Amino acid sequence: MLKRGYLILIAGAALFIIGIILTATYGMSIVSLTLSENIILADVSISPSKSINHTIEISDTERPVSLVLHIESELNDDTNFQTPSEPLVEQMVINPNGFKVNQNQIGRNGQSDLFTSFRPQTDGIYTLTLSNRGTDQVKVQGIFGYLPITEDDGQVNLAPFTGVLAGATLFIIGIITLIVGTIFTILDRRREKNKRPIGFGR
C-alpha cells in the first residue's frame, strides 16, 4: 500500500499536468483567435503632425469592434519615455462608405490608455487613423478588431478566460500539493528509520 506522501505526490502531479493542459489549450485558442481577427500595433512611432492608417476587413456586423490603445511620448533619447499630459493622439475609424464611426483623443488630462468599441453597420474595409497632434514623437501600442472579451453590448466579459484561470488555479494547487507531498514523504521516511530495531553486534 502506498504511503500518504506518495499518494499526495501523485495527486499533485496529476493536478499539475491537468493545469498545464487546460492553460495551454484555452490560452492558445484565445491567442490564435485574437491574432486572426485583430490588427496588432506594436511600438508604432508617429512623428508630430503625421498620421498612420491601418485597415481591417469586417465581415460580422453582429459583433462589436474594439480598439485598445496605449501611447507614450517618445523623447530624443530612445531610452526615455514619459506619459503624455496633453492631447497628443487623435484616433478615428472610417467605415467603407467614408463615414466617421468612432473618434477619440488620447492624452488629455494625463490619459494614456483608451478602450473603446463600436457596432459596425456594414461589412467591408474599416480604416483606423492615428494622428499625432502634439509636438513630440509618440509611440503607440494596441489592438484593433474583434476581442473575445467584448460582448455584443460592448461590455467586457472575462468568461472566455475561465478555462485559462481554471488551468492556472489547478497548476498552482498542483505545485502546492507536490510540495506538501514531498514534506510528508520525508517525514514518513524519517519515522520508518526511527522505528527500525537497533541490532547489537558481538
% residues pLDDT > 90 (the chain): 21
pLDDT(151) > 70? no
Q: Which amino acid is at 19?
A: G
Strand (E) or helix (H) holding 151: none
Which one has a higher pLDDT value, 146 or 5? 146
- Residue holding cell 505526490? 9
Q: Do 68 and 89 sit in the same domain of this protein?
A: yes
- 200 assigned to some structural domain: no
The stretch 100-118 carries a mean pLDDT of 86
Q: Do 94 and 15 sit in the same domain of this protein?
A: no
pLDDT(93) > 80? yes
Q: Do 116 and 177 sit in the same domain of this protein?
A: no
CATH number at residue 44: 2.60.120.380
% residues pLDDT > 70 (the chain): 81
Measured CA to CA, the distance from residue 184 to residue 167 in angstroms comes to: 25
Measured CA to CA, the distance from residue 18 to residue 22 in angstroms comes to: 6
* Containing structural domain, residue 113: 38-157
Which one has a higher pLDDT value, 76 or 62? 62
Q: Do 140 and 167 sit in the same domain of this protein?
A: no
- 32 assigned to some structural domain: no
Q: Do 62 and 135 sit in the same domain of this protein?
A: yes
pLDDT(16) > 60? yes
Q: Do 106 and 182 sit in the same domain of this protein?
A: no
The stretch 31-39 carries a mean pLDDT of 75
pLDDT of residue 158: 66
pLDDT(26) > 90? no
pLDDT(106) > 50? yes
The stretch 55-81 carries a mean pLDDT of 78
Per-residue pLDDT reduced to its tens digit, 160-202: 678 888 888 998 999 999 998 888 888 878 877 776 665 544 4
Cβ atoms of residues 8 and 181 within 8 Å: yes
The stretch 93-106 carries a mean pLDDT of 92
Which parts of 64-202 are beta strand (E)?
65-74, 81-82, 89-94, 100-106, 113-118, 124-132, 137-145
pLDDT of residue 85: 47
pLDDT(59) > 70? yes
- 198 assigned to some structural domain: no
Q: Do 81 and 112 sit in the same domain of this protein?
A: yes
Which one has a higher pLDDT value, 65 or 154? 65
pLDDT(113) > 80? yes
- 117 assigned to some structural domain: yes
